[in-house]
Chains A and B, each alone.
Chain A
Amino acid sequence: MSNEASSEQGAALSGLFTGVSDLKESRSVKGTPASRLPAFVLGEELGDLADRDPRVMVLTADLASANRTTEFRDRHPDRFFDFGIAEKNMITAAAGMASAGQVPYAATFAAFCAILCAEQIRTDCAYPDLPVRVLGHHSGMSMGFYGTSHHALEDIAMMRTIAGLTVVCTTDANHLRAVLRASLDHPGAMYIRMGRGRDPEVYGEVPAITFGKAIRLREGGDLTIIATGAQVRAALDAAENLAGQGIETRVVDMHTIKPLDEAEIRAAAAETGAILTVEEHNIIGGLGSAVAEVLVECERVPFRRHGMPDEFALIGPPAGLYAHYRLDTPGVTAVALELLGKG
């Protein structure tokens, strides 16, 4: 599916939901309007869902101002609970709410839900198959110089081993909207991974998504880059760079890590010359590992997992970290060339 096609499908969806408020419209970060920043979209979109569905509740752990669920709080104070700095209690209480018929969205830093509360997510949410939506924002190393305690470079690995748990990475603001809308009636528990909230735009409109179905954003036969989260933008831009060198690259947004779109991986193996996975996650256990598990049962193609090496991140601002670990556009371009023997 091309960008253009996804835009058309997005247009079909738009108009069904309330728009951005005047207040939000007036806000921007470094020139990017708030409506295009996941950080500003989360509270608004959840508020819209709650307007239409009495099951929606939102919980956070003293981070309402960081994840901007404050907007939800202001619109639906009776369905908003701030649990203070007590994430385990929040996740388990969300499971209790879900068992009584609600659909709770519990949001906190990915490090403090997926990693700190891995057992609560497994035992209380996934095992009883309850519709809890764990929103792990500021995943990867998007917390930059806050350091390893606030990074989540292991969460995909931990979450995808939990039976029955749907694991989704959001790509940008419009994709986040699509994920939240689709999550409302999705069966079972979900881990929804978000970036820092300033993730660069990939989708000009809200895309039509299906959990477990990857989105092919660009065609090419020499190489497939399978990316997830904020790295989808870097992958698209790297593909543009590579085109300048005569290399045609297919780019796949593997937004759902579990259940994995195995057919899309097999198609890449059969139809393109090499596969590169790109993720803001330890290369052990994440998207790359998930793809590799499929590829070992396919005809072999040159393959490389690109992500965070098995180490804790340096201290630094996010942009510096992405450049250092080659998770930005020049980095992904360079790694792709290495994989193709042209580096």
Chain B
Amino acid sequence: MTAQTAAHGRNVSREFLEERAKFVRLETVRLTRIAGAGHYSSTFSAAELLACLYYGHLRINPAEPLWADRDRFVLSKGHIAIGLYPILADLGYFDPRLLDDYTRLGSAFGDHPDMKKIPGCDFSSGSLGHGLSVCLGIALAARPQKRDYRVYCMLGDGELNEGQVWEAAMAASHFGVGNLVAIVDANRLQIDGATADIMGVEPIHERFASFGWEVQRIDGHDIDAVLGAFDALPRGTTGKPQMIVADTIKGRGVQMMELSLNWHVGNLVGRDYDAVIEEIQAGLKPVTATEVRP
């Protein structure tokens, strides 16, 4: 199926988006080698979500990063900035060669994104639990300005442990912020183990629904499903805030990383590096991991 997202984003094919998700994973591997450590697996779980958002959906103009009517995207799970930077570079927000100095002394590009240094980054992040409040504020600012932009926030499922998320969730429905869209990359793992074991957050969709949100729950690696969820978002700046719970696999795309606790932060070297590049280039295979692995 060819994705039709002209209403808000751009007409792009499913094959193109798969290719861009692959690009996110490959760039993550490349940049991690420059830094010597990086968040592979929590970036891989969000690769399709990021690709669909930026290439197929968001109302943005890379030639005018501060365009007042643009949609905003806040990466509340800021530790996957390594997957966002290549997209912003690819779209033309800045020279892709700048990423060759990723994390080096004086670089604009650290493990977490800095809005003051990076064109296209709508808000700095890194401290989990803040992003939804940021987006709430941006969404409310549309009212006195009479603008119709949407604000998108990507959170991790582990991040939902943070109390501030629920303060924002409560306020978003109370204020009827219909132009706020939250996407939870529910990849089932946090640093110390499965989210279910460390601090259970499920059922995420029911919890947000009970907080007054309109909720969709989809397969976050299925490009048609992701675009379909975006297309189903209602227009307007008032109404229920919108939640998309995306079921994903942490480490998706590299089998040894899938649902593995070993790869939250890591560094591929030697033959492992080459093998992973090859595996990503070959495209997604069926998931083999059925439970969390040490």
Contacts and interface: CB of A to CB of B under 8 A. Distances in A.
A92 B130 contact: yes
Interface stretch (B4-12, B132-140, B228-236): B132-140
Interface residues on A, range: 20 to 34
Contacts of B130: 92, 120, 123-124
B127 interface: yes
Nearest to A94: B137
B171 A92 contact: no
B159 to A, nearest CB: 14
A28 interface: no
Interface in B63-79: 68, 72
A280 to B, nearest CB: 30
Given A81-B175, A96-B135, A128-B123, A88 B164 contact: yes
Interface stretch (B51-59, B141-149, B197-205, B219-227): B141-149
Contacts of B141: 57, 96-97, 100-102
Nearest to B124: A128
A129 B138 CA distance: 16
B78 to A, nearest CB: 10
Contacts of B167: 83, 86, 88-89
Contact of A100 (B133, B137, B164, B175): B137
B122 interface: yes
Interface in B137-192: 137-145, 163-164, 167-168, 170-171, 174-175
Contacts of B285: none
B175 A101 contact: no
Contacts of B139: 96
A26 to B, nearest CB: 31
A127 interface: yes
B110 interface: no
Contact of A93 (B115, B127, B171): B171
A219 interface: no
A124 B137 CA distance: 12
Contacts of A83: 167, 171
Most buried by A among B116, B126, B127, B174: B127
A93 B68 contact: no
Interface string A108-152: 000000000001100110011100000000000000000000000
A7 interface: no
Contacts of A54: 144
Contact of B144 (A102, A120, A127, A128): A102
A30 to B, nearest CB: 37
A124 B139 CA distance: 16
A78 interface: yes
B133 A93 contact: yes
B140 A101 contact: no
A79 interface: yes
A94 to B, nearest CB: 6
B168 A89 contact: yes
B134 A93 contact: yes
Given A57-B144, A81-B175, A93 B137 contact: yes
A100 B142 contact: yes
A79 B137 CA distance: 12
A78 B143 CA distance: 8
A89 B171 contact: yes
Contacts of A128: 115-116, 123-124
B179 to A, nearest CB: 11
A127 B127 CA distance: 12
B175 to A, nearest CB: 7
A99 interface: yes
A302 interface: no
A95 interface: yes
A19 interface: no
B126 A95 contact: no
A92 B133 contact: yes
Contact of B171 (A84, A97, A124): A84
A127 B139 CA distance: 21
Nearest to B122: A99
Contact of B145 (A92, A100, A104, A123): A100
B133 A88 contact: yes
A107 to B, nearest CB: 15
B118 to A, nearest CB: 11
A101 B68 contact: yes
A84 B174 CA distance: 10
Contact of A96 (B68, B133, B164): B133
A96 B136 contact: yes
Contacts of B145: 100-102
B168 A100 contact: no
B171 to A, nearest CB: 6
Interface string A59-89: 0000000000000000000110101101011
A89 B167 CA distance: 6
B175 A124 contact: no
Given A57-B144, A86-B170, A102-B141, A93 B116 contact: no
A57 B91 CA distance: 34
A89 B133 contact: yes
A57 B138 CA distance: 12
Contacts of B170: 84, 86
18 contacts: A78-B143, A83-B167, A83-B171, A84-B170, A86-B171, A93-B137, A95-B133, A96-B123, A96-B135, A100-B145, A102-B144, A102-B145, A119-B127, A120-B130, A124-B130, A124-B134, A127-B124, A129-B116
Given A88-B163, A88-B164, A97-B138, 9 more contacts: A84-B170, A89-B133, A96-B123, A96-B133, A96-B139, A104-B137, A124-B130, A124-B134, A129-B116
> Can you list the 9 inter-chain pairs with the closest CB atoms, starting with the nearest?
A96-B137, A93-B137, A92-B133, A89-B167, A100-B141, A86-B167, A96-B134, A97-B137, A96-B138
